[in-house]
Chains A and B, each alone.
Chain A
Amino acid sequence: MTKLRLSRLLNSVSLAALGALLLAGAPGVGTAADAVGEIRIGFLSQTPEPPPSVANPDEPAADDGLAGASLAIADNNTTGKFLKQSFVLDRVEVAPDGDAAAALRELAGRSDRFVVVDAPGATVEALSKLPEARNLLLLNATAPDDVLRGSACAANLIHVAPSRAMLADALGQYLVKKRWPRWFLVTGRRPEDKLYADAVRRAAKRFGAQIVAEKEWTAESDVNRTAESEIPVFTQAKAYDVLVVADEVGEFGDYLSYRTADPRPVAGTQGLVPTVWHRTHEQWGAAQLQSRFKAAAKRPMTARDHNDWTAVRVVGEAAARARTADPDRLIAFIQSPDFTMSAFRGAPLSLRPWDGQLRQPVLLAADRSLVSVSPQEGFLHPRTELDSLGYDQPETLCKTRGKTTP
């Protein structure tokens, strides 16, 4: 009703008056009229084909990720009904070798100004550079690549998933706190494994740990049959405290525990894993999100589900806080120091203005138990302890986002 009346009014006034009206309405929080409305969020997903060699006992669900986004839309709408805001998820799935740019154009064509991208880092980077993406806000939900936050950063791109540097720092702080500073780093053969290993090396340097030995896993054989004989030989290294493994797709990392030459714990991409979410996490109201998700999806929430949930909730929380459905105002508000949201991990999440990264606590989980939550006590930071994880303001390699202090 209000909306209709406003649009009639706009049609009837002169162009000059219209300009004045728009200017007057621009600053500050939304007025009653623009608080109301529909907010469309695109959901662009692309799942890389798993390599054939992986023996995966836990086949990911077909709706892995999407189920998190869908629950967040429902959560946004429950809140939205009190503010007369409604949220719509426009979903496009891109094949592993499909045309992601065309998918983004399609979403932009449906006037989606927010697009959650659940895709590999290369796709995220390519999409952020499209002319059609200039006026959008892309929410990188899952790609952990530090380069996206560094030299490839973009004003229209924010990062919901923690970067590899944040994950490695979260693990590194814990290992150092435990006084397990000597690490044996085992890296897989894929490019992303090298990046994970780089992040582990960086964490070691930051927190005073040492990489006492390094090896690359190159075996082509079916590790499932040969692990018992191969791994004890492979893991003969000089004295170390923890074996840190970098194997993102899970080709061999799960076979290391209990087979190392020395009795040592395994951490990294397998064993004790830094992650945003775990099925055993229940603190800070997490039990409620777990049960809400389980009721809706009939399975436990994964880290990918949680990242997509958070991405869609960023938009919903901003719309409720800024009391506006106007996309330009929402995009500005999300990137302002006033934006914070709860994501069931204790400390509030907010955006680092220097690289567009959502600052957040990181869980450290074993298969069936939550072991700890980083940042660890004692890793201090003048702004927030959360900024002890990942690239801090003075270290950022992002040059295009400006470096205003939050």
Chain B
Amino acid sequence: MTAARFTGISLAALIAATLASAASAQTIYVSNEKDNTLSVIDGKTMAVTDTIKVGKRPRGITLSRDGTQLFICASDDHTVQVFDLASKTVVHNLPSGEDPEQFALSPDGKSLIIANEDSNIVTVVDVPTRKVAFQVDVGVEPEGMDVSPDGRWGVNTSETTSMVHWIDMEKRSVVDNTLVGPRPRYAQFTKDGSQLWVSSEIGGTVSVIDTATRQVKKVVDFHIKGVAKDRIQPVGVKLTDDGRYAFVALGPANHVAVVDARTFEVKDYLLVGRRVWHLALTPDQKMLYTTNGVSGDVSVIDVDSLKVTKTVKVGRYPWGVAVKG
């Protein structure tokens, strides 16, 4: 009797412990542009546990809101693949328009807005019905995408036009444009939606735009000792939810800049792998992962100590990264 009760208790404890560890176990997904694969990294052991074949030239990746699926831009297949994480299979494709590169998911998880790089168009897909909701014309080589937290704005950056195009999601049209530094690559709204941060690869800067006025309010510049100015080419940007930091991947400068998101001052430059492009924060904001295209690896940054703690070898030309919490 006592023994049975004891077993019962320990079982319950065991289950609780298992649940807790499942909740904190993190999985990192990385798209390898030149291998047509997805690398799966275990967040605890930092080992690659699986390499999965996906569509041609996978670039942007993002998780569904419920965390069960991964959307993958398979650029050379001209489609967005919906990848089921449990079964590790592509369950279906979404109509994405030509050459999808980056995309963003609306806060309600229902609309995927996709940059069609070769055709100067942004395609908005209704995820539940898997149909194109609408398309809008934007500038030359659309790339960076985000949706404001309130769902009102879809934004797109066009690389050769060097603008942010503001898409009113209700009106389904571009209603404003903001000129930024040359070759804007990435856009991210702050958690409260009041600012949009946009990187300019050739300009070597990050523009902070006031959402209410759509005017640039601050331009962040970067200087690394011993690195030529024209090698500093910002691409990926990640803002912490608490408004403390902005992390900026500086491409061939092989560093991630740590920017104080309140004062816009650059606090530090962290040396990572070669040609760092995209970034992802863990849901608990404790870790930052970077894709390093030329060295073919992922750097792991501890956000509290601002130290690079590990490098994980993945496939050829890692491009996008997403973390499942």
A interface residue numbers (CB < 8 A to B): 75, 78-79, 82-83, 285, 288, 291-292, 295, 317, 320-321, 323, 340-342, 346-348, 384-386
- List residues 132-183 of chain B with CB under 8 A from any CB of chain A: 139-141, 158-163, 165, 174, 177, 179, 182-183
Alpha-carbon separation in the docked complex, A320 to B181 (Å): 11
Cβ B230 vs Cβ A78 within 8 A: no
Interface residues on B, range: 20 to 34
Residues of B within 8 A of A385 (CB): 228, 230
Cβ B202 vs Cβ A342 within 8 A: yes
Residues of A within 8 A of B141 (CB): 285, 288
Residues of B within 8 A of A341 (CB): 182, 202
0/1 string, B105-118, CB within 8 A of A gives 1? 00000000000011
Cβ A79 vs Cβ B182 within 8 A: no
Known contacts: A340-B203, A384-B229. The answer to whether A292 contacts B159 by CB under 8 A is: no
Cβ B229 vs Cβ A78 within 8 A: no
- 6 shortest interchain CB distances as A-B pairs: A79-B161, A347-B230, A342-B202, A82-B177, A348-B202, A342-B183
- List residues 188-211 of chain B with CB under 8 A from any CB of chain A: 201-204
Residues of A within 8 A of B252 (CB): 346
Residues of A within 8 A of B99 (CB): 291
Residues of B within 8 A of A82 (CB): 139, 161, 163, 165, 174, 177
Cβ B230 vs Cβ A320 within 8 A: no
What is the minimal beta-carbon distance from A31 to any residue of chain B, in angstroms? 15
Known contacts: A341-B182, A342-B182, A384-B230. The answer to whether A79 contacts B139 by CB under 8 A is: yes
The number of A-B residue pairs with CB atoms under 8 Å apart is 66
- Any A CB within 8 A of the CB of B120: yes
0/1 string, B213-243, CB within 8 A of A gives 1? 0000000000000001111010000000000
Cβ B228 vs Cβ A348 within 8 A: no
Known contacts: A340-B203, A342-B182, A342-B202. The answer to whether A79 contacts B118 by CB under 8 A is: no
Cβ A288 vs Cβ B163 within 8 A: no
Nearest neighbor of B294 in chain A, beta-carbon distance: A283
Known contacts: A291-B99, A291-B118, A342-B183. The answer to whether A79 contacts B163 by CB under 8 A is: yes
Alpha-carbon separation in the docked complex, A285 to B177 (Å): 22
**Which of B117, B161, B163, B182 is the one whose CB lies under 8 Å from A340?**
B182
Alpha-carbon separation in the docked complex, A292 to B139 (Å): 13
Cβ B182 vs Cβ A75 within 8 A: no
**Which of A291, A292, A346, A348 is the one whose CB lies under 8 Å from B182?**
A348
A-B contact pairs, 21 of them (CB 8 A): A75-B140, A78-B120, A78-B161, A79-B139, A79-B162, A82-B139, A82-B161, A82-B163, A82-B165, A288-B118, A292-B118, A295-B118, A323-B179, A340-B182, A340-B202, A342-B201, A346-B230, A346-B252, A347-B231, A348-B204, A348-B230
Nearest neighbor of A342 in chain B, beta-carbon distance: B202
0/1 string, B10-47, CB within 8 A of A gives 1? 00000000000000000000000000000000000000
Cβ A386 vs Cβ B139 within 8 A: no
Nearest neighbor of B163 in chain A, beta-carbon distance: A82
Cβ B118 vs Cβ A285 within 8 A: no
Known contacts: A78-B139, A288-B117. The answer to whether A320 contacts B179 by CB under 8 A is: yes
Residues of B within 8 A of A323 (CB): 179
What is the minimal beta-carbon distance from A317 to any residue of chain B, in angstroms? 8
Most buried by A among B117, B202, B231, B252: B202
